[in-house]
């Protein structure tokens, strides 16, 4: 069936470095993508989203890149901080919006070394 998956289950980076978390999706009809951050003991928290009519979107220290040709999504975190340590999920949605819920990938754990 359709799925959203991640290449790296765990990513370890040094504080201050940039982090890149990747995600592959298989549903070519997906038109909306979101990155979530989940800290221990908490629910997923919205980071940034992007629609399929865009290929790049920037937020505060985060950038999402979308490559529809190869169905690939990435999250870039600049100047990674210890507070960025968490599990990161990509999620996708496809039309019609009235009948589909977000489908989540399997998650990548980001560990920031001081």
Partner 1 sequence: DTAVSQTPKYLVTQMGNDKSIKCEQNLGHDTMYWYKQDSKKFLKIMFSYNNKELIINETVPNRFSPKSPDKAHLNLHINSLELGDSAVYFCASSPRTGGDYTFGSGTRLTVV
Residues making contact with partner 1 (CB under 8 A): 32, 34, 36, 38, 41-46, 49, 87, 89, 93-95, 97-104, 106-107
Question: Where does residue 79 rank: exposed (0-12), middle (13-18), buried (19+ CB within 10 A)?
Answer: exposed
Residue 106 three-state SS: coil
Measured from the CB atom, is 16 or 46 closer to partner 1?
46
Q: Determine the Cα–Cα distance for residues 18 and 16; give it in Å rounded to an integer.
A: 7
Least distance to partner 1 from the beta carbon of 97, Å?
4
Measured from the CB atom, is 30 or 80 closer to partner 1?
30
Measured from the CB atom, is 41 or 114 closer to partner 1?
41
Measured from the CB atom, is 65 or 102 closer to partner 1?
102
Closest CA relative to residue 103, chosen from 90, 113, 114, 112: 90
Provide the β-strand partners of residue 72: 24, 67
Least distance to partner 1 from the beta carbon of 49, Å?
6
Least distance to partner 1 from the beta carbon of 83, Å?
18
Alpha helices in 2-107, H assignment, sequence order = none
Least distance to partner 1 from the beta carbon of 27, Å?
13
């Amino acid at each position: 069936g359709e799925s959203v998956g991640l290449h790296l289950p765990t990513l370890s980076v040094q504080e201050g470095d940039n982090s890149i978390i990747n995600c592959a999706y298989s549903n070519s009809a997906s038109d909306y993508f979101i990155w979530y951050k989940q800290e221990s003991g908490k629910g997923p928290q919205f980071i940034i989203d992007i629609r399929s009519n865009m290929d790049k979107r920037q937020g505060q220290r985060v950038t999402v890149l979308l490559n529809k040709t190869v169905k690939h999504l990435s999250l870039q975190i600049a100047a990674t901080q210890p507070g960025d340590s968490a599990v990161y999920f990509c999620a996708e949605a496809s039309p019609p919006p009235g009948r589909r819920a977000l489908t989540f990938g399997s998650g990548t754990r980001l560990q920031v070394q001081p």
